[in-house]
Structure 1
Amino acid sequence: MINTTKKNIIEFFENAGKDVKLSEERKELLYSISDKIIEELEDRDKVNLNFICTHNSRRSQMTQVWSFFASEYFNLENINHFSGGTETTAFHRNTVKCLQKNGFIFNVDDFSHQNPRYLISFPGTKKSILGFSKLYDDNNNSYPYLAITTCDSADENCPFIPDAIQRFHLPYVDPKIADNTDNQIEKYDQTSKQIAGEMYFIFEEVHRAFYENETID
């Protein structure tokens, strides 16, 4: 049993926000995403985010989960977080273990050896998101949405996404390269921390746009 507390996950997230290393090009991309989120919230009063990777098993799941946490941390409402793939596999067990270690709570919603469904939350919230491997246009993913591809393969194999308001390519290193090696845990933590730090960057900008003169609790 992994012991998770609100303090642990907040510390991980805030440290990720402080430690994240960003090139100027990467910053411009993150600013573009935050600007579009702000625009959608102002125009439509809500925004759907769909993080897309090939198998929807590692990076796209991590970005969905950390995006969910970031919007809650920054007191942002009416932002919905989804993920999907160009193929269906499973929410990889190493990804689940990594996110549990970071502080997230996984409750099995529908058990399947091939592709179990999880209700994912964290200490201090009554909200949860549904996590399982699915296609990016699955019925569980509300549309229209901002499509954010998290791997080069998904970007190349999804030349046209009809329900996307706009599309961004935000690739991450695949921690799969370290599966069954001595540095497996370290590599998954590195990817998770990079994603958490960039979600911090994006949603801090969104928070600033709506709560310029307020502080975060």
Structure 2
Amino acid sequence: MYQKIKEIFNAITNEWDLTEERKKLLVPLIQFIQDKVDRGQVVNLNFICTHNSRRSHFAQIWAQVAAYFHNIPAVNCYSGGTEETALFPKVTETLAAQGFDIFKIADTANPIYAIKYGDNIPPLIGFSKKYDSPFNPASAFAAVMTCSQADGECPFISGAEKRIPLAFEDPKITDGTPEQTRVYKERSLEIAAEMFYVFSHIKK
């Protein structure tokens, strides 16, 4: 794992205190993962938001990294939306500043990115897609709803074993303002802290 990402996680353990309210929201996700680990089963997590352009990608990426950091095996993290748009460029810019190695592997209206968090670790693939895209698992996964709008628009998600509401504030509200860089950085670190917390509570 790249050193800068390790430093972020080490800082989280020292500086980030989650509220009791957020900790309660994370319990179902911890329980889902722990149950799969106890049964020796693969853990599939699909983080879902409306456009699959910002929060769902942050959550997918940081969850995968947190699982690796805490040495929780057989964890596969995905993301999707209620509609397909594009991964917002500020997300990749933010993650690159936080230590990820990111390069574009398809330059289209909906670009595809390889997102690496270590030299010898397979990269994550980032692009916008619907939650039921063939790229994502069709069954035996937890649907983690990272925005309230997607949670409301999806009364039923086919194939999901469990549905977990875990909304984050949309950094999109600062697009085009002087606050954008700061807010995207803060949202990324907030999500990183919560994913770190989740996987730090998994007993192997």
Structure 2 partner of 1:120:
115
Residues 139, 44 of structure 1: CA spacing in aligned structure 2 closer, same or farther, 3 A cutoff? farther
Q: TM-score, normalised by structure 1?
A: 0.89
Residues 120, 190 of structure 1: CA spacing in aligned structure 2 closer, same or farther, 3 A cutoff? same
For structure 2, list consecutive stretches of 5 or more residues without a partner in the other structure.
Answer: none
Structure 1: how far apart are the matches of 2:100 and 2:110? Answer: 19
Write the mapping of 1:1-217 to structure 2, written as runs, cut at 5 A: 6-112=2-108, 114-142=109-137, 143-206=139-202, 209-210=203-204
Partner SS state of residue 61, structure 1: helix
What stretches of structure 1 move > 4 A for 4+ residues in a row? none
Structure 1: how far apart are the matches of 2:190 and 2:90? Answer: 17
Partner SS state of residue 173, structure 1: coil
Residues 18, 137 of structure 1: CA spacing in aligned structure 2 closer, same or farther, 3 A cutoff? farther
Q: TM-score, normalised by structure 2?
A: 0.94
Structure 2: how far apart are the matches of 1:44 and 1:195? Answer: 26
Structure 2: how far apart are the matches of 1:21 and 1:153? Answer: 27
Give the aligned residue type for 1:140.
Answer: F
Q: For the Cα contact (< 8 Å) 2:101–2:117, is it kept in 1?
A: yes
For structure 1, list consecutive stretches of 5 or more residues without a partner in the other structure.
Answer: 211-217
Give the aligned residue type for 1:168.
Answer: I
Partner SS state of residue 139, structure 1: coil
Q: For the Cα contact (< 8 Å) 2:2–2:100, is it kept in 1?
A: no
Q: For the Cα contact (< 8 Å) 1:17–1:198, is it kept in 2?
A: no
Q: Percent identity?
A: 38
Partner SS state of residue 39, structure 2: helix
- C-alpha deviation, 1:126, in angstroms: 2.1
- C-alpha deviation, 1:109, in angstroms: 2.4
Q: For the Cα contact (< 8 Å) 1:19–1:197, is it kept in 2?
A: no
Partner SS state of residue 150, structure 2: helix
Give the aligned residue type for 2:118.
Answer: P
Structure 1: how far apart are the matches of 2:140 and 2:67? Answer: 19
Q: For the Cα contact (< 8 Å) 2:42–2:74, is it kept in 1?
A: yes
Give the aligned residue type for 2:3.
Answer: K
Structure 2: how far apart are the matches of 1:139 and 1:191? Answer: 28
- C-alpha deviation, 1:183, in angstroms: 1.1
- C-alpha deviation, 1:44, in angstroms: 5.0
Give the aligned residue type for 1:202.
Answer: V
Q: Which moved more, 1:56-65 or 1:22-31?
A: 22-31
Q: For the Cα contact (< 8 Å) 1:147–1:167, is it kept in 2?
A: yes
- C-alpha deviation, 1:31, in angstroms: 2.3
